[in-house]
Amino acid sequence: MPGRSQRTSGSVAMDDYLEQILHLIVAKGYARAVDISKNLGISQASVTNMLRKLDSEGLVKHEKYRGTVLTDEGHRIARAIIERHETLTRFLRLFGLDEETIYRDVEGMEHHVSRPTLAVIRAIADLLEGNPALLEEARRKVDPQT
Ligand code: MN
């Protein structure tokens, strides 16, 4: 697929798994298939299959007693996925959208945004954060009532 190499990582499903696994590891120190399954709303059998695939690609490994952990490469990719989620969220929050809309849209956008486009959004978010007058002007363009 053209442009594929510009994306942060692999498929949509793999991104979601790596993101969840890192969230679980940060929260609890380990990621269990049952928790991944619950958080993603996916059957445990599918989770087990995906973990096997991620393992064969060197992104996770299974440790006795600890459950699934990320390899260094898996951790690097998961960090990039989460950073991308946070950048898109930060950008939309500047405009005061409701949190539910932001979350839903970010979950969709993050799978399609290329690295160059993400860099543009990050730059605009930085610029608006550093310039309250410009931010106000931008917000007024979106909603002239405010
Ligand atoms: Mn996300």
Which domains occur in the chain, in start order?
12-70 (1.10.10.10), 81-142 (1.10.60.10)
* Distance of CA 106 from the midpoint of ligand 1 (Å): 6
Measured distance CA(61)–CA(41) in Å, rounded? 22
Mean pLDDT of the chain: 88
* Distance of CA 68 from the midpoint of ligand 1 (Å): 20
- Whether the model clears a pTM of 0.85, i.e. scores above it, the answer is no
* Distance of CA 100 from the midpoint of ligand 1 (Å): 13
H helix runs in 63-129, sequence order: 72-93, 99-109, 115-129
Interval 47-73 mean pLDDT: 89
What residue has token string 């979601």? 16
pLDDT exceeds cutoff 80 at 27: yes
Interval 4-11 mean pLDDT: 52
Radius of gyration in angstroms for the set of CA atoms belonging to the chain, rounded to a whole number:
18
Q: Provide the pLDDT confidence category of residue 93 given band limits of 50, 70 and 90.
A: very high
* Distance of CA 144 from the midpoint of ligand 1 (Å): 30
* Distance of CA 120 from the midpoint of ligand 1 (Å): 19
